[in-house]
């Protein structure tokens, strides 16, 4: 990074906690990353692609303006005919997508949903802007949701509650200065980092509190906080404000940087596979992104 812009490894690590980021290969698209993540999620869940009833894909960096990246994924898995669409809520995209899929399941419309967060932010970065290009990476993560009857007891597994918010008045603090209708260009990410930071900790702590209040749980009941991975200081600040011990926070920002909608499923995947997150535990997901958008999902695994 220091060869590209006026920065240093020390500055990046101290201010963000980011030590590395991944960048998609030339020609490798958001759908390619999404398909790889979905294949692993389906294998882990023991679900065949043909059994998917719904695909919701969160991304702000789709392959094309249209069709959606979700339908490209759908074509790969051979489940033509089922609904497939993208959700655009930038860094909150995964929480939004999970909420949409959960509501489809709770409404009884689908039984098995594939929810993906996938991004190639490297394609919308101004690589000459040191205030943004050092912060982001490319990646994808996915989960499979399955309908299951509970017995109404407090040990029921699943998504216990979700909370979504948006405030379009904050557009200028974090946006991409391109788009098909307004500029007929792809554009680059623009951000007033300090202002975003200021809003982030407040909004994120509030939306976790909202989830706890809705379920009657307290921060002591949280086994794992799996936050959107934007900046190590935001993660530490939010956990502190919530009274969640740092050793209950899943952190991948050091190795992935900010992968927007992909960051939560990437972090969740890591913590499930290394045995930290286990069945029966209470996990809270939270995210904030451009818009602003923000949200949380409280889950009993």
Minimum CB separation from ligand ACO for residue 123, in Å?
Answer: 16
Smallest gap from residue 274 Cβ to ligand ACO (A):
24
Closest to ligand ACO by CB, 50 vs 240, is 240
Cα distance between residue 128 and residue 112, in whole Å: 43
Residues serving a catalytic function are 91, 228, 258
Least CB distance to ligand ACO at residue 227 (A): 9
> In terms of CB distance, is 130 or 241 closer to ligand ACO?
130
Closer of 132 and 161 to ligand ACO (Cβ): 132
Report how far residue 226's alpha carbon sits from residue 249's, in angstroms, rounded to the nearest whole number.
6
> Please, which residues bridge with residue 115 across strands?
56, 143
CA 155 centroid distance within chain: 26
Name the residue nearer to ligand ACO (CB basis): 77 or 294. 294
3-state secondary structure at position 32:
helix
Residue in the shown chain whose Cβ atom is closest to ligand ACO: 193
Q: Concatenated DSSP letters for 214-225?
A: HHT--GGG-SEE
Q: Which is nearer to ligand ACO, 174 or 211 (CB)?
A: 174
Backbone angles phi, psi at 290, to 5 degrees: -55, 145
Task: Provide CB contacts within 8 A for 227, sequence distance 6+.
Answer: 204, 234, 235, 238, 239, 249, 250, 264, 267, 285, 286, 287
Tell me the helix, strand and coil percentages in the chain, rounded to 5: 40, 20, 35
Binding-site ranges for ligand ACO (CB under 6 A): 7, 11-12, 15-16, 91, 130-131, 134, 174, 191, 193-194, 196-197, 200, 228, 230-231, 234, 258, 288-289
Query: What is the rounded CA–CA span in Å between residue 117 and residue 33?
Result: 9
CB of 188 to ligand ACO, least distance (A): 14
- Of 10 and 274, which has the nearer Cβ to ligand ACO? 10
What does the chain come to in residues?
301
CB of residue 29 to ligand ACO, shortest distance in Å: 22
Least CB distance to ligand ACO at residue 125 (A): 12
Nearest to 90 by CA among 205, 5, 167, 7: 167
Of 256, 261, 253, nearest in space to 236 by CA: 253
């Amino acid at each position: 990074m220091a060869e590209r812009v006026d920065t240093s490894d020390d500055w990046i690590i101290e201010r963000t906690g980011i030590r590395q980021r991944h960048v998609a290969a030339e020609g490798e698209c958001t759908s390619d990353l999404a398909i790889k993540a979905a294949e692993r999620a389906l294998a882990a869940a023991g679900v065949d692609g043909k059994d998917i009833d719904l695909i919701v894909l969160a991304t702000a960096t789709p392959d094309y303006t249209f069709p959606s990246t979700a339908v490209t994924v759908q074509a790969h898995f051979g489940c033509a005919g089922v609904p497939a669409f993208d959700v655009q809520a930038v860094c909150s995209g995964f929480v939004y997508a999970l909420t949409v899929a959960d509501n489809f399941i709770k409404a009884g419309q689908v039984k098995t949903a594939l929810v993906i967060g996938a991004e190639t932010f490297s394609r919308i970065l101004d690589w000459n802007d040191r205030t943004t290009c050092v912060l982001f990476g490319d990646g994808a993560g996915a989960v499979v949701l399955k309908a299951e009857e509970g017995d109404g007891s407090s040990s029921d597994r699943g998504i216990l509650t979700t909370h979504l918010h948006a405030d379009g008045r904050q557009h200028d603090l974090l946006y991409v200065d391109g788009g098909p209708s307004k500029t007929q260009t792809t554009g680059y990410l623009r951000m007033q980092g300090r202002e975003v930071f200021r809003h982030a900790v407040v909004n994120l702590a509030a939306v976790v509190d909202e989830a706890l209040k809705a379920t009657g749980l307290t921060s002591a009941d949280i086994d794992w906080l799996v936050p959107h991975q934007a900046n190590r200081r935001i993660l530490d600040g939010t956990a502190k404000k919530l009274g969640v011990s740092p050793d209950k926070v899943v952190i991948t920002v050091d190795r992935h940087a900010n992968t927007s909608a992909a960051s939560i499923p990437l972090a969740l995947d890591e913590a499930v596979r290394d045995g930290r997150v286990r069945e029966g535990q209470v996990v809270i997901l939270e995210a904030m992104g451009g818009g602003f958008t923000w949200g949380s999902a409280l889950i009993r695994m």
